[in-house]
Amino acid sequence: MVNLNAITKSQKLKMPDFAPKNRTLPSVYEIEDAVEHVMQMLLGDDVRIGERNSGGVVVMTGAGVSTDSGIPDYRGEQGTYTVNANYKPIYFQEFLARHSFRQRYWARGYLGWGQIHDAKPNSTHLALKSLQDKGYISNLITQNVDRLHLVAGSPEDRVAELHGTLATVECLSCGHKQPRDVFQDVLSELNPEWAAYRHHLKTTHTEPRINPDGDVELPANVSYYDFEIPPCPKCHTGIVKPSVVFFGENIKADVKALTSEWIRQARAILVIGSSLATYSAYRLVKTAHEMGKEVGLVNIGATRGDDIASWKCEVACGEVFPVVTKERVCSGSLIFPLLDKHVVVVGAGVGGVATAARLASQGIKVTVVEKNDFVGGRCSLLYQDGHRFDQGPSLYLMPKIFKETFDDLGHNIEDHIDLLKCERNYRVHFHDGDSIQLSPDLSIMKKEIERYEGEGVEPFLCFLRFIEESHIHYERSVQLALKQNFVYWWHLFRLKYIPDVFRLHLVNTIYGRAKKYFQSKKVRMALTFQTMYMSMSPFEAPANYNLLQYTEFAEGIWYPRGGFNIVPSALAKIAESYGATIRLNCPVKSINTTDRSVTGVTLADGEVIEADAVIANADLVYVYNTLLPPSTYGKRLSDKAKYTSSSISFYWCLDREVPELDVHNIFLAEAYKESFDEIFKDLSLPSDPSFYVNVPSRIDPSSAPPGRDTVVVLVPIGHSRHAIPEDQTEMVKKARQMVIGTITKRLQLPDFSSYVVHETVNDPSTWASRFNLWKGSILGRFDNLFFVGASAHPGTGVPIVLCCAKLVSEQVGQWLGIDVRWSKKVKGANGDTRVPAKRFTFAYYIVTDLMPIALVVLAIVWLLQYICIMSSTPRPQWVS
């Protein structure tokens, strides 16, 4: 046993002398030179994947790789040793010797784990994963304990965690392992005061600085002696520690053998973001050098391996590796340089970042300019006093489309988004205090349907037939509308589409089809209100739009842990990993044009960015009337375009939990049809509105402080009659009174208004000013100007916009003369791999103004279907 008293602080904190003694090669300080050095190592002497000299490179990463993820390193400018000269990491012998040391470690680690758990892979992690996929990197050894390489998608069998991981906890007696999250929950139960303190730090955004090993710094007067540590849950006596290698502890034998074998087999070793201060890492590099292998270093500052390196680049890894993946893109087996094409995306909404990621993955240089200081557009977050609100979407529907997007980009969606499934889809409240729950559990739905439609087999069979019909609508609509471009008018006239005219019931309304299956008005209402999400009335929306009912009942409603902004944020990081540049706080003044094309954009500060194509992720009418030169087309759009509805949204901090509210709640007006008419025909706030209430804290406790609820209320209203929405103060006041009155009455909560301790409001003027939505609406005249988003084909809604991003990316690729290929995940003999999918050869580009042609076609289709319907029996019920 080591004499602990003999280990002085200076000995523990002494840094190795890294001053090189016999340097023969100067360090490289320019990004371009660093990229060239890395590329030469990765490519070897050939330019083909799979050839003799390509691949065979082992990468070793250190703490410097994770700094862009918010986890500091040890010796950088903001490193732990630099910022805190008194920092003292715990030694293995200390951890074993004293219970008080274990209390100190686990208390600090308990508070720090959340930041490690929530950290996301940065552009370097994603770039290295991409290089592994393409065969340039054979294996990856990491000294980091944050698991971010695995979260980024690097294959688990090709990543060695030299110093272990914080994600599991193990018993030193029996070897039993358990997930860190489970252990954290046990610590929370044993230490409720510490749990409350941790939640306070998180919700007030006052979390103390984290260290690379996962603990945090706390004031010296904090006492740890009341912190309880549970014993091993299996043997009940053993000491538990995280599955990491502490200072003074030996590397596990199997890890040591594996990494040594990888070094033996490697052609070269590339060290990234590490000073090689620990001998366990330096030993591997030293071995590679002694075996005559090339050793490359990418690290700012001196390293222990400077004297044996073949070359060194003192450049931040986050500046180098995204450029490396951008400079060489895989197309079949050949490697070709970055394409001499530049695309500017105006707006970093969901459509903007998804399109940027897709184009960047094809080797196209992409610059995204966004006026706000965040990505996601309306898919953004608000914070207030520990409460977190989804400012826009809150329903994660059609999950297959989300997955397809990430698959196409070569990523597993599970590595980026943690989905929570709602136990119930909705609780629907009616004017008389009655309510019905909609659930993906068919046994529950059978009981609910029988309550309103009567007992017996037939009512439930009608429900199943309704869902079967919506399934047909879902499958055919996805294939025929969401994944197709209708650019020229003759594309609408295809004989193979004629059978689908009848399958999709295009001349029926959603409410009309519901009336065919259900006798109860309440059931019809409960199964048709979803058109509100698409800003349509169920009495006017074509029947094929009941596809949402299918996805809700068959696939369920989900919620991304941490809020919906997780989705665009993940796409933005993937885009950056492929080399895209995302510039926030950069409003666009104008899109620059010539006679028939656009040449780039001018920012508000006068900077001009030239481009081969421009993609507008902004409202179509806003772009034509504000960013483009005045035109008769733009005027016609603003005068005659049909706008979606707007909304008034209330974001409420409650001082308590309200169990009467579920995650998703719908309050329907008694005058159901009239309420929609007032929105879409009168363009007003309904006198008796239907509205939606979301309580994210019911499914994701992190969205509210303990014992409180976060509530979002969305009240659909007509869009503003003016380009700049008028003052909405009285309308907001009236809407608030009606919402609180309805909730108070229907839920029998007489004091509900007093529960609201803080309110934030978004009205049509907010949507117009913050997100450039023309007239507060919430949803090609130039050859190389494209549109993506809710105002472009195929329509509104996050999954629909993701489909739009794919379509427009393919069109931009074709316009630029690029053979677009998406990555697809397939199961191979050695596990999951990614291969190029089919190529796209569309020879046309996006035009968005097809509504008049579509109406003509639908009129012809209506006549054909009407003849068929009149000659058949029994006739379906038609409802206006």
Query: Binding site, residues?
Result: 171, 174, 232, 235
Helical packing angle, 279-290 and 253-265, nearest 10°: 30
Give the H or E element holding residue 746.
Answer: helix 729-746
In 575-659, the DSSP E strands lie at 581-583, 588-593, 598-603, 608-610, 613-616, 646-654
Q: Which of 334, 315, 337 is nearest to 324 (CA)?
A: 337
Backbone angles phi, psi at 334, to 5 degrees: -95, 150
Asked if 205 is an active-site residue, the reply is no
285: part of which helix (H) or strand (E)? helix 279-290
Q: Are 297 and 305 in contact (CB under 8 A)?
A: yes
CB atoms within 10 A of CB 83: 14
Catalytic residue among 37, 125, 149, 163: 163
Residue 10 sits at the vertex; the CA angle it makes with 8 and 14, to the nearest 5 degrees, is 130
DSSP code for 386? T
Whole-angstrom distance, CA of residue 780 vs CA of residue 468: 38
| 3-state secondary structure at position 20 | coil
Contact 94/9 with Cβ under 8 angstroms? no
Report the alpha-carbon distance of residue 576 to residue 571 in Å, rounded: 9
Element (H, E) at 142: strand 137-142
Q: What is the largest CA-CA distance in the chain?
A: 99
Q: Pairing state of beta strands 588-593 and 426-429?
A: unpaired
CA–CA separation, 473 and 478 (whole Å)? 8
Q: For residues 644 and 778, is the Cβ–Cβ distance under 8 A?
A: yes
Other Cβ atoms closer than 10 A to 873: 6
Q: Yes or no: say if 343 and 359 are a contact pair by the CB < 8 Å rule.
A: yes
In angstroms, the first-to-last Cα distance of the chain is: 86
Instruction: Could you list the residues known to form a binding site for Zn(2+), using ranges.
Output: 171, 174, 232, 235
CA atoms within 13 A on the CB side of 784: 26
Helical (H) or strand (E) element with 178: strand 177-179
Residue 520, exposed/middle/buried by CB under 10 A (0-12, 13-18, 19+)?
A: middle
- Residue 186 structure tokens: 């046990």
Distance (Å) of CA 623 to CA 254, 355, 369, 470: 60, 18, 14, 35
Asked if residues 571 and 345 have their Cβ atoms less than 8 Å apart, the reply is no
Tokens of 214: 């996962």
β-pairing, 664-667 vs 691-694, is antiparallel
The radius of gyration of the chain from alpha carbons, rounded to an integer in Å, stands at: 30
Q: Are 54 and 48 in contact (CB under 8 A)?
A: yes
Cα 23 to the chain's mean position, in Å? 45
Omega prior to 208 cis, within 30 of 0: no
Distance CA 349, CA 354 (A): 8
CA distances 795 to 478, 618, 758, Å, are 12, 13, 34
Residues 6 or more apart in contact with residue 599 via CB below 8 angstroms: 592, 593, 610, 611
DSSP string, 767-786: HHHHH--GGG-----STTEE
In a 13 Å sphere around the CA of 386, the CA atoms on its Cβ side amount to 23
Smallest CA-to-CA distance from 792 within 621, 666, 635 is with: 621
- Active-site positions read 163
